[in-house]
Amino acid sequence: MTSISSELLSNEPTSGSSQGSLTSQATTPGPSKVLVVEPHPTLRTVLVQRLRQDGHLTAAVGSAQEAVDLCRDQTPDLLISAELLEHNSALRLAQQLGCSVIVLTARTGVEPVVGLLNEGADDVLRKPFGLEELAARSKTLLKRGRIGLQERVAVGPLEVHLLLRQVTLREKPVELSPREFALLCALLMPPGMVRSRHELLRMAWPPFSGGPRSVDTQVLTLRRKLEQAGLGEGGGITTVRQQGYRFSLETLPG
């Protein structure tokens, strides 16, 4: 995202009872912009303070209408919102604003969380939650969002079309499942970096799903498909002992 003309988000300390009237003078892509919508004023303030520690430009309001008014000319990179809002909900608000959303729910049990994820939530946290967990999940979603701003990633003869969700090798299509595609993107961002199984789970699996063995299984199938497509032994993916996996440029054929 570029600069915010209506003075939405800032890392400057807030004054008064509202965290919604804030300033950003960025003219080039920089810190991520996060909007918190939480009716409880104390929690709202604590969340803003924690998110700003990570360098995010952060604003907070108490209602969906305030959020809409604040974002008339721009879209935050991430919305963190209470599940139920007056005359609205976190999911509907995220659709209105056109951004990713972490839903904060007071409901207990697995079913509400699964339901929210199936309905389109990018992540869900049950109250009470730890601030460090929220911060980590926010970083992961924001990282995915910035990756998504790229239209195409090319590594040697392999091209990944992120918007079209297509993979080609020497201009020939490579058929991958949605999970395999997400896993390949995680390994390519950036290529050559070692990704642990837990990192790959956070980047390519929905929250609360999968485990280290799931990563190993999907890596195996991804390797086979890339090999069959002609990418060479191992499909360019190497195992780094006791660390994880890496997409290795050295194994790519010329």
- pTM beyond 0.75: no
179-193 confidence digits (pLDDT tens) = 898 889 888 877 788
Orientation of helix 197-204 relative to helix 178-187, angle to 10°: 130
- CB atoms inside a 10 Å sphere around CB 22: 21
The partner residues of 149 in beta bridges, in order of sequence, read: none
Strand ranges of the sheet holding 78-82, from the earlier edge strand across to the other edge: 57-61, 33-37, 78-82, 100-105, 123-126
Is residue 190 reached through a cis peptide bond, with omega within 30 degrees of 0 on the bond before it?
Answer: yes
113-168 confidence digits (pLDDT tens) = 889 988 888 899 998 889 999 999 998 888 876 554 456 778 888 888 876 778 99
Domains of the chain in sequence order: 33-148 (3.40.50.2300), 152-251 (1.10.10.10)
Angle at 125 (CA atoms; ends 121, 129), nearest 5 degrees: 165
Output 14-22 pairs: Cβ under 8 A, ≥24 positions apart. 14/48, 17/41, 18/61, 19/44, 19/45, 19/48, 19/58, 19/59, 19/60, 19/61, 20/59, 20/60, 20/61, 20/66, 20/70, 22/57, 22/59
66-111 confidence digits (pLDDT tens) = 999 888 767 788 999 999 998 899 999 988 888 889 999 999 888 8
DSSP 253: -
